[in-house]
Amino acid sequence: MIKSETVKQILEHYRVIWALSHAQGVMGWDSETYMPEEGIKARAIARAEISQLIQKFMLDEKFVKLIEKAEEEKDLTDVERGIVRVLKRDLKYYQRVPPEVVKEFAKVTSEAFVAWRNAKEKARFGLFAPYLEKIVELSRVIAEKLGYKEHPYDALLDLYEEELTSRDVEEVFSTLEPGVRRLLSKLEARGWPRRHPLEEMPYERPRVEAAIFEVLELLGYPKARFRVDVSPHPFTVGIGAPYDVRITVRFRGVDFREPLFSALHEYGHALYELNIDESLAFTPVGTGVSLGVHESQSRFMENIVGRSREFTGKIAPILRRHLPLEQYSDEDLYYYFNVVRPSLIRTEADEVTYNLHILLRYRLERLMIAGEVKVADLPELWNNEIDRLLGVRPRNDAEGVLQDIHWAHGSIGYFPTYTLGNVVAAMIYYKHGRVKQHIADGDFASIKEYLREKIHRWGAVYPPKELLTRSFGEAYNAEYLVKYLEEKYR
């Protein structure tokens, strides 16, 4: 697939950068799973040094000249153009953001994770606030160095979703917010279930773990390239995609729906990485194209597939083999999976209210980066805004401003991609047209092949908007999501 001699030389140099990134992936996964808490003292330094080393290799003069030379070549293949495009984006970051900022950002975010974890356990935002202040300060510096047309937040959005702007996000939410509010009013009037007794049912972790693995087997997960671990916040990491992809889940001991759907969600992410064409491995395009497109795969698997009545019927026998559910019918389980109510925790939110949680975070992030709010004021602002959007109010910081890990990772500009994922997942559902029938038939192979052909196999060869337009004829149309929710909960 690589014909250009220039691009071949680029990939030879890039292999070292890939290897360093691979090491960062392993260390990041270990930090959130098995590393002893005191290990952060050494890990933070190691990751910071590797981040600086990656920047050094990226800015190697010969490497930069090769990329510039390849950019001028007229007969590159789509894959070759994708490689050059992705590397140009990376170069923009490393050329404009000073090495000392890259190093400091890696160091403070490594330390911030431990601080966030302790703050969340104690429900004390003050323990995390100094780290977040530094992260916001560094993020502003990064935004200014990268440049933007209208708002500094746009520079950060672009890091996670190529060419995404605040205008795009506002357009999506201008459709979603009134649509969701309208649907919530209808559901309340009709008495859609807001509670289910299974939410209070305690469970034994080994039993739920066994059920999850059996559900994953039903979906056909590749055991030799995939593993499941436990962490405070579920995540997926493609350490060596498509050969080594790992997910985590969380077990609280009550409400087995949470770890089950976390596993389905992260499996959607993992499936994307596992299905990238092997010819793209070890290259800059051998990964998911953006977080929004990535999230579309997790939300598709979690909600479109996982919370459907058809899938509920398929996994009900599995769940009954491992859990005391004999008194509950398939219909009972379906309503348990699809309870709708305003809630405090984003990761536990139903698919109707979920995007209002993202709207809250998007607005606060944009204000933080603009310098219009102080970090110290976030808990009160958070509580007031979620009360306005959903009519609920956190009892403490752990239920509110501390619930997500993303700011500890320095991932400001990340949250809107969750809503983009929901939007694209609904688009895929309608563009495919036979998802429910495939689920009812147990034909998950056909669903995975459709996703592979339309999204997965291409990795980052095409920019996200171009990929979606090539595959589905349009990008980020929120009307599909409103239609999906209205039809499902009719």
Residue 130 pLDDT > 80: yes
Residue 414 pLDDT > 80: yes
Residue 1 pLDDT > 80: no
The CA distance from 204 to 274, in Å, is: 30
The question of whether 399 is a catalytic residue gets the answer no
Beta bridge partners of 230: 249
The CA distance from 285 to 112, in Å, is: 30
DSSP class of 228: E
The CA distance from 405 to 426, in Å, is: 26
Kindly give, in sequence order, each residue whose CB lies less than 8 Å from that of residue 356, ignoring residues fewer than 6 positions away.
177, 180, 389, 390
Q: What is the pLDDT of residue 99?
A: 85
pTM: 0.91
Give the strand order in the sheet containing 245-249: 226-230, 245-249, 236-237
Residue 142 pLDDT > 80: yes
Dihedral angle, C-alpha 201, 203, 209, 210, nearest 10 °: -100
Mean pLDDT across the stretch 185-207? 94
Q: Which two tokens stand for residue 150?
A: 């209208």
Q: Report whether 191 contacts 340 (CB < 8 A).
A: no
Longest dimension (CA), the chain: 68
Q: Which two tokens stand for residue 449?
A: 């092949």
Q: What is the pLDDT of residue 36?
A: 93
The CA distance from 128 to 120, in Å, is: 9
Q: For tokens 């990329």, what's the residue? A: 67
pLDDT digits (tens, 9 = 90+) for 442-453: 999 999 999 999
Q: For tokens 């491995």, what's the residue? A: 281
pLDDT digits (tens, 9 = 90+) for 320-377: 999 999 999 999 999 999 999 999 999 889 999 999 999 999 999 999 999 999 999 9
Q: Which residues of 444-481 are buried (b: 16+ CB within 10 A; e: fewer)?
A: beebbebbbebbbbbbbbbbbbebbeebbeebbbbebb
Q: What is the pLDDT of residue 344?
A: 96
Q: What is the pLDDT of residue 472?
A: 97
Q: Which two tokens stand for residue 113?
A: 């994770």
Q: Report whether 309 contacts 198 (CB < 8 A).
A: no
The CA distance from 309 to 314, in Å, is: 9
**CA 226, chain centre distance (Å):** 18
Q: What is the pLDDT of residue 48?
A: 87
Q: What is the pLDDT of residue 348?
A: 82
**CA 286, chain centre distance (Å):** 17
Residue ranges per structural domain of the chain = 5-151, 166-488
Q: What is the pLDDT of residue 245?
A: 96
Alpha helices by DSSP H, 234-308: 257-274, 291-299
Percent of the chain past pLDDT 70, that is, above it, reads: 100
154 CB burial (10 A radius; 0-12, 13-18, 19+): buried
Q: Report whether 176 contacts 478 (CB < 8 A).
A: yes
Residue 18 pLDDT > 90: yes
Q: What is the pLDDT of residue 110?
A: 87
Mean pLDDT across the stretch 152-164? 96
Mean pLDDT across the stretch 41-58? 91
Q: What is the pLDDT of residue 94?
A: 86
The CA distance from 368 to 370, in Å, is: 5
Q: Residues comprising the binding site?
A: 265, 269, 295
The CA distance from 158 to 354, in Å, is: 23
Q: What is the pLDDT of residue 103?
A: 87
Residue 441 pLDDT > 80: yes
pLDDT digits (tens, 9 = 90+) for 218-273: 999 999 999 999 998 899 999 989 999 999 999 999 999 999 999 999 999 999 99
Q: What is the pLDDT of residue 163?
A: 94
Is residue 306 helix, strand or coil?
coil
DSSP class of 237: E
Q: Which fold has domain 166-488?
A: Neurolysin; domain 3 (1.10.1370)
What mean pLDDT is reported for the chain? 95
Q: What is the pLDDT of residue 355?
A: 97
Residue type at 115 in one-letter notation: A
**Pair type for strands 245-249 and 236-237:** antiparallel
Q: Name, of 28-32, 155-159, 239-243, 346-350, the range with top average pLDDT.
A: 155-159
The DSSP-derived string for 36-73 is -GGGHHHHHHHHHHHHHHHHHHHT-HHHHHHHHHHHH-
Q: What is the pLDDT of residue 129?
A: 98
Q: Which two tokens stand for residue 313?
A: 């019927």
Q: Report whether 439 contacts 447 (CB < 8 A).
A: yes
Q: Residues comprising the binding site for Zn(2+)?
A: 265, 269, 295
Confidence grade of residue 378 (pLDDT, cut at 50, 70, 90): very high
Q: What is the pLDDT of residue 490?
A: 85
Q: What is the pLDDT of residue 210?
A: 97
Phi and psi at 226, nearest 5°, equal -150, 140
The CA distance from 401 to 390, in Å, is: 15
Q: What is the pLDDT of residue 52?
A: 87
Spot the catalytic one: 104, 161, 258, 266. 266
